[in-house]
Amino acid sequence: MLLTSDFVTARYEALRKRAPDLQIVTELGAGADPDVTALFAFKLPAGIAPRLPNLQLAASVGAGADGILSAPDLPGHVKVTRAVEPGLGLSMAQYVSLQILSHFRALPQMQAQHAAGEWKRLPVPDARDVTVGVMGLGAIGSVVAEVVGALGFKVIGWTRSEARAARVPVFVGEGGMDAFLARCDYLVCLLPITAQTTGLLDRSRLSKLPTGSYVVNVARGGIVVEQDLLALVDEGHLGGATFDVFATEPLPPSSAFWRHDKVLVTPHIAAQPSVGPVVAQFIDNLRRLSQGEPLLDEVDRRLGY
């Protein structure tokens, strides 16, 4: 088994404790390594897969597998899995709720009043009059929708290709996109990044949001066209945004996002799978692979998720 990246190497001790007989390789030699049958990675740089002639499984340590699927030389027969664990959806829901409530209850304004020693009572808005739209209703998005709904907001959802089992009204595909966006006072992006979703939320689509809407992007960089969003904030059409993910990470110091007073930047920390469940899932999939059983949370490489 091959570990790649410092992020993944942090899982080394958990793997060693749970599977002491597993042969773990942290660095490849100059040539091919026929002994490696599985790798555990967040990203898979080009040039690695061809050096592993017996590779059967590429397991992502993250909730998305785009860092592995983007490898141009990953053989078609190699199975790809992603990390799924129960606490991830709740962690994401906490982050999303934090951003929505901060804007909804005017926390930045209250902090400014505190700093100025100003006693000024603000009106308390009614969440029942506000609609939060969640794009992507998979294992994480469905939890986010449920938690945000429990806070009193109206919640609707959008999916690209199918109506998922959900407890909220769902809009589907291109045909439902405009009607969905037109109702969103808050837009939460939780879509996987694929060829179909890259650049999906551009100026044309973001302009369909009601004036003053707020965007929370916790999916992957590249789905929201960043300069289009900033332009719409500057023009007053959008009320602001929180971005946890970007097309280029780390976000360069020169980015306008850092200096915008209506935008909050966080460093891709909205939610992370817990080490224990992810390692256990990987070990279980190694067993399943050896016994010819279906893998847990296998990615459909055609769809990208």
What digits encode the pLDDT tens for the residues 143-195? 999 999 999 999 999 998 876 677 899 999 999 999 999 999 999 999 999 98
Q: Specify whether 160 is located in the same domain as 201.
A: yes
Domain presence at residue 305:
no
Beta strands at 57-60 and 79-81: parallel, antiparallel or unpaired: parallel
Residues 154 and 58 in one domain: no
pTM of this structure? 0.88
**How many structural domains compose the chain?**
2
Active site residue ranges: 220, 268
Q: Which residue has the tokens 């097309």?
A: 247
Same domain, yes or no, for 59 and 149? no
Least confident of 21-25, 236-240, 256-260: 21-25
Q: Which domain holds residue 195?
A: 86-265
Are 49 and 103 contained in the same domain? no
Which CATH number fits the domain that encloses residue 38? 3.40.50.720
Is residue 81, in this structure, part of any structural domain at all? yes
Same domain, 98 and 231: yes
Q: Which of 177, 110, 184 is nearest to 153 (CA)?
A: 184
Residues 146 and 41 in one domain: no
Predicted local distance difference test score (pLDDT) of residue 172:
94
Averaged pLDDT, 194-216: 97
Model pLDDT, residue 25: 84
Q: Check residue 191 and report its DSSP letter.
A: P
